[in-house]
Every structure is written in C-alpha cells, then in structure tokens.
Amino acid sequence: MPDAGGKGNNVPRKDKNQDKHDKSRAIPTSRVGRLARMARMAGGVAGGMLAEGTRQLRDGKRPSARDMLLTPTNARRVAEQLSTMRGAAMKVGQILSMDAGEFLPRELTDILARLREDAKHMPPAQLQQVMQEAYGPDWETLFYDFKMEPLAAASIGQVHKTISPDGREIVLKVQYPGVADSIDSDVDNIATLLRLPGLLPAELDIKPLLEDAKLQLKGESDYLKEAKYLQEFGKLLRNDKRFVLPEALPELTHHNVLAMTYVSGSSIDTLITAPQAERDRVMSALLELMLLEFFELKLVQTDPNFANYQYRPGTGEIVLLDFGATRRFKASFVNQYRKLAQAAIDGDMDQLAGAAERLGYALGEPGSPYRQMVLEFLMLAMEPVCEDVAYDFSGSKIASNMSKLGEEVLDFKEAWKSPPAEAIYFHRKVGGMFLLASRLKARVNVYQLMQRWL
C-alpha cells in the first residue's frame, strides 16, 4: 500500500511521464486551492480568447466575444479543469447541461455534457488520507484485499471493492476530500465563470438553478443520509423479485464513506441485444418503479445516469445503485402533477394550464403564443401516457420535436422563467428513463402503468 503522504493539499505531484491512460488526479481540497484552480481556468480562457481574437483580426475578421470564447482549446480547458476538481464544480456543469441546455450555445452544452462521463479519481496517497480520517491510521486492518483502483468514479466520490471484517464482499463509496466544504464557494465560482460575455444569454436567469444545486449537492454529500435512503428503498422492494439493491452497512458507514454489500451486474446496455419481450419487461419495471416512487412514496432517486442501473442476464434481475440524489416531493406537488397527467390524457387544455400554473410554471397571458408553446411542450412530454397502446420509444420523435420547441423558446426570452425546482428534478428522472427506453428500443404501455395512479 502506498505511503499516505502529507496532509491537506500535500499530495505528491504526478510524474510528467506517467501513463497517459491513468485517470487519477489529485483533488484540490482547500477553498483557496479550489479558487486558484478556478482562477487559473478563467485566466486560461481569457488568454485563449485574446489569442483567438488576434488570429481572427490577422485574418481580416471582426471577432465576436462568443466566437473567441467557444474555441476547441477553451472547451478542452474548461472540461479538464472541472473534471479534475470534481464536486460541485463538476456537478453544476452536469445540471446546467441537462436543465438549461436549450439556452446554451451548442459548444458549451457539449463541454458540460462531457462531464457526465469524464470523472478523474483520487491518487492513492489522497485516498489513504480519506480512509484514515474515516477509520483511523490502522484502517487497513479492517478490510481484506482492498482494491486501490476504483470500480467507478463520479462527481462526488469513487467506489472501491473490498472484504468486510465479517467476510462479505462489500464496496466503499469514498467521498473526495474537500467536496462537502466547498459546495457554496464552488457554485458561486462557477456562476462567476458563466457570466463571461457571450457564454450565456443575458436573459437566462440561472440563479434559481444554482441555489437549488447547492441544496442538492449538500444532500448528496451526506453519506449517512444516503445510507438511510438505501435502507428505505430496500424495505420497499424487498419482496419484489425484479430488483436487487445493495444493503447499507451502518456500522462501517461514516459521513465521508458509505459502506454497502457488493452486488454484481452487467451494464444495462447488455440488454440491447436481448429479445424484444425482455427489453420491454425490464423497461416496464423501471417505469413502474419511477411512478411508484413519485406517486406513492413521494421519494424519487432523481439521477438519470445509466450506470445506476445494471442487469443480470441469468436471472433477469435489475440492479439498482446510487441513491445519493434521492429527493422528497411535497404531496401538493405530486397531486397537481397527477392532475396535469390526467388533463393531458383527456386533452383538456384548460385543466392542463390550471395544473401547470399551480405547479409553478409561468404560462404568460391567456391566448398568448408563449402560453400556447408551453402547453404544447407539456403535451409533448406527456405523449407516451396519452394512448392505450404500447409506446414505441425507438420510433419516438419527442426529442427532436422538443429541440425544435426549444429553439422557439428563444423567441420569448423575456417571458421565459425557470421551471419549478421540483419539476426540474422529476423531469430529469423522466428524461433519463425516456433515453434509456429509447436506447433499448423498448415498447411499453405507459398509459396502463399510469392508470393505477389516476
């Protein structure tokens, strides 16, 4: 086992000749260190803009701020720094790419989308420090065959496999150092960066998204809370043979390390080659689970990352992972959403508008083109539930039609307001399920699944 090294940011620098395929990067843990990273990134972006502007002037062109900012070099610079910092810096990029994507320049959306898959993990010395903080200097005596190479790395933590003191195969979700303490400052620093001229439309108010992102991130960084969510979902699904979940191990869990039993599974993508009936069955089960979470529990795992779902070809079981982004919904919101769904099924635009406004959507004046556009957007989102047939997700044009509507939204910049936060998080889950169903080319009678809740 490598030596633990020093404290704080005293992590050995990587050798310049280190394997280029090694994705480990030391994480800046102090606020000053993280601010310095952000300042370095902003300085690099500004330098890149100056160089690009000089180049365009030399070519006889009059450069715009947007053209100078969104160069391939600047794109790589931003993506690399945010993925190295992890934590709130990386998560805000993910959130914005999903929730404000139609308002962002395509180049910026592509940069931010990369962050959903481009996490770096901690080097061994920094991992040692976190494990010592959680379990003490003799932590290695607690576990057998601890794997230093993580099974997975994300924005807030990484997962390691080992053997527990009682001999069970388990995984430890280890939080990156400094992430929890830097949430507010990271989000504020990202907000400053996003105000660079030409990066975001002046009319786009992202403050509500960023403030809610702070709350979400603080919840996700509380591993004791995630352990309780995992236990809650375990109780809910213990008699449902379709699903398999890890078991939380409270005796080994700390605020920065979540201990769970190890559950094996293959990538959910392995279902792509499965028979149509099996793809339909699995997707139907996942959609039914989402409706159960929302309408009955009012407790939803809102992270749409495909890596949170695995499949066991031998048994057909679905493995559910990662409950850090679990969110509780108010009963009033769930009830109004139920009315929204019923209005969409009935094709009642007046009821649809009333439910949408009670949910917190800004619809504008009755009869206005903007109001009509928002209602059209909501009806489009509800398309899979409106007919009593097996909806063919592979042939759906919802995504392309929504993209066209998103372009129309830009004509109503003054009227547009961010959707209510609860809607954003639920729609993120719905959108993730839609994308998964499309990838699996599933056919599901969503109308019948909804009847139980209407």
Separation in Å, CA 375 to CA 16, 93, 357, 369, 433: 55, 28, 11, 10, 22
The angle, 0 to 180 degrees and rounded to 10, between the axes of the packed helices 369-381 and 398-409 is: 160
- Catalytic positions: 303
Quick one: pLDDT at residue 37? Answer: 53
Contact between 11 and 159 (Cβ < 8 Å): no
Residue 161 inside a domain? The answer is no
DSSP assignment, residue 295? I
Residue 385 inside a domain? The answer is yes
Task: For the beta carbon of residue 89, count every other beta carbon within 10 angstroms.
Answer: 28
Residue 256 inside a domain? The answer is no
Name the pTM for this structure. 0.75
Q: Is residue 84 left, alpha or beta, with left meaning phi > 0 and alpha meaning psi from -120 to 50? A: alpha
Residue 424 inside a domain? The answer is yes
Residue 103 inside a domain? The answer is no
Residue 398 inside a domain? The answer is yes
Separation in Å, CA 48 to CA 23, 135, 359, 370, 420: 25, 45, 43, 39, 37
Residue 275 inside a domain? The answer is no
Helix (H) or strand (E) holding 106: helix 106-114
Local structure of 260: helix, strand or coil:
strand
Helix (H) or strand (E) holding 447: helix 446-451
Per-residue pLDDT 10s for the chain (454 aa) are: 333 333 333 333 444 444 444 555 555 545 555 545 555 544 444 444 444 444 544 555 544 444 444 455 555 555 555 555 455 555 665 555 544 444 455 555 555 555 555 556 788 888 999 999 999 999 999 999 999 999 887 778 889 999 999 999 999 999 988 878 778 877 777 776 666 555 555 555 667 767 777 887 888 889 999 999 999 999 989 999 999 999 999 999 999 999 999 999 999 989 999 999 999 999 999 999 999 999 999 999 988 778 899 999 999 999 999 998 899 999 999 999 999 999 999 999 999 999 999 998 888 888 888 888 889 889 988 999 999 999 999 988 887 787 777 667 666 766 667 778 788 888 888 988 998 999 999 999 999 999 999 8
What are the residues whose beta carbons fall under 8 Å from the beta carbon of 245, sequence distance 6 or more? 230, 233, 234, 237, 263, 319, 320, 321
- How many distinct structural domains can be found in the chain? 1
Range of the domain at 439: 328-451
Q: Which residue has the tokens 């056919």?
A: 443
Quick one: pLDDT at residue 289? Answer: 96
Residue 257 inside a domain? The answer is no
Quick one: pLDDT at residue 182? Answer: 77
